[in-house]
Every structure is written in structure tokens, then in C-alpha cells.
Amino acid sequence: MTKFLFLFSILTVLFISSCGKKEEQQVFVPPGQETKKDPEQERLEREEFERLKRLETGDTASRNDTVSSAMDTATAKDTTSADTDKKQEKKNLVQKEKELNKRLDNPKIAINDYLEFLQRGTSDNGSFEQNMKKANDQWEKGNIERFKRNYKDTKKIIVLEEPKVISQKDNSAVVDVKIKKVDVKEGKDVETTMTVRYILAADSKGKWKIKENKVTSK
């Protein structure tokens, strides 16, 4: 009886061991077969990857071109806008200067300044050359040599009556002034009293210039 039980135990162990090996053989999978991919599938995946890469590269280039074009357009617009602004600003400054000159300067003041330069240039203490040049600058079309000839023998200029605006319209004006002119002729002082009429015009900046003059009475 004891031998029988011993044999039965051995057979049971062998049977269980045999079953365990079979179960292990059923679930065992060779490593190579578990990780290996289909070559055709790999080729398709590579082609799809390359296609997506080209598409992405193309899109990026396209986006870069679009952004660059937009920046160029914006820069061109900014430059054009800046040029327009500068031109408008310059135009506004010129207009303001004209208006300022017309407010601060008028035909009467222009003639007063002109006569003052003549008085300084012909006085004993004045600079003839410098003041004749300034007086000449008050003319629309001056001639400095003519000024020097006309006033080289003049000893004194006296304003007897303040300049009077006879007419003024837009950029034209007429001003009369009564003066006394003392010239040295053959060593003697010769006095001449006269009323001089000046015709003036405003230049592009609104500053009055003398166009011509004539003696209306003595």
C-alpha cells in the first residue's frame, strides 16, 4: 500500500510538470516574429512621411513669401506715407511763414526799413557798402551798383512824413512817403523835397518787396 501511494505521488508530479511545459509552449512567441514589420508597410510609411515633409516645407516657404511680401508692402506704404507727411509739413510751414510775415510785416514797415538803410548808409557814422546792400535787398530786382551811384554824393535823407499806404490788395500795395534829400554838388549842399511813390509786391514767403518807384511831386 505504501509503495502504491509513493508511485501515485510520482506520477502526479510528472503529470503536472508535463502540463506546465505544454502551457509554456502554447504562449511562447519567438522575439523576431513579434517586432518585425511588413516591408511594404514600411515603404508606405516612409513615402507618407516624405510627402508630409515636402508639404510642410512648401507651406513654410509659402508662408514666408506671404509674410515677406506683406512686410515689403507695409514698408512701401510707410515710406510713401512718410514722404507725403514731409511734403505736407513743409507746405504747412511755408504757409505759416507767409501768414506770419503778412501779420508782422506790411508795406508801410517795408518802406520804413528801406529808408532807414538809406539813412544809415549816407550818414557819417554809417557803413555805406553794408547798408546799400541791405537797401538793395528790399527790391524785387535790385542793382547794387545803381544804388552806389545814386547815393554816393548823398549827405542826408530826412523822412518828413511817415509812409502812407495808398492801396493794398492781395499781394500788391502802393505806398507814398515825403522825404528831404541832401546831396553834395560842387562842394555845396543841395536839398530836394519830394514825395516818392513805391509800388510793392509780396514774394512767395509773403514778404514785401519794392517793384518800382517814382517821384510824384517836389
- Which pLDDT tens digit goes with each residue over 16-63? 555 444 444 444 444 444 445 566 777 777 777 777 767 766 655 555
| Residue 37 lies inside a defined structural domain of this protein | no
| Residue 3 lies inside a defined structural domain of this protein | no
| Residue 162 lies inside a defined structural domain of this protein | yes
Residue labelled with grid coordinates 500788391: 172
Length of the chain in residues, anyone? 218
C-alpha cell at 166: 495808398
Rounded to 5 degrees, what are φ and ψ at 63? Answer: -65, -40
pLDDT (tens digit per residue) in 122-167? 987 778 999 999 999 999 988 999 889 999 999 999 999 999 999 9
Q: How far apart are CA 89 and CA 82, in angstroms?
A: 10
Q: Give the number of domains in the chain.
A: 1
Residue 210's contacts (CB-CB under 8 Å, 6 or more residues apart) are 110, 111, 114, 138, 139, 140, 198, 199, 200
| Residue 111 lies inside a defined structural domain of this protein | yes
| Residue 17 lies inside a defined structural domain of this protein | no
Residue 208's contacts (CB-CB under 8 Å, 6 or more residues apart) are 105, 106, 107, 109, 110, 173, 200, 201, 202
Give the least confident one: 6-15, 123-132, 165-174, 192-201: 6-15
CA-closest candidate to residue 107, choices 151, 150, 138: 138
| Residue 149 lies inside a defined structural domain of this protein | yes
What is the model's pTM?
0.54
Who wins on pLDDT, 10 or 45? 45
Range of the domain at 171: 104-217
| Residue 70 lies inside a defined structural domain of this protein | no
> 158 vs 36, 54, 183, 201, CA distance in Å?
121, 95, 12, 25
Q: Look up the CATH number of the domain holding residue 138.
A: 3.10.450.50
Rounded to 5 degrees, what are φ and ψ at 207? Answer: -90, 135
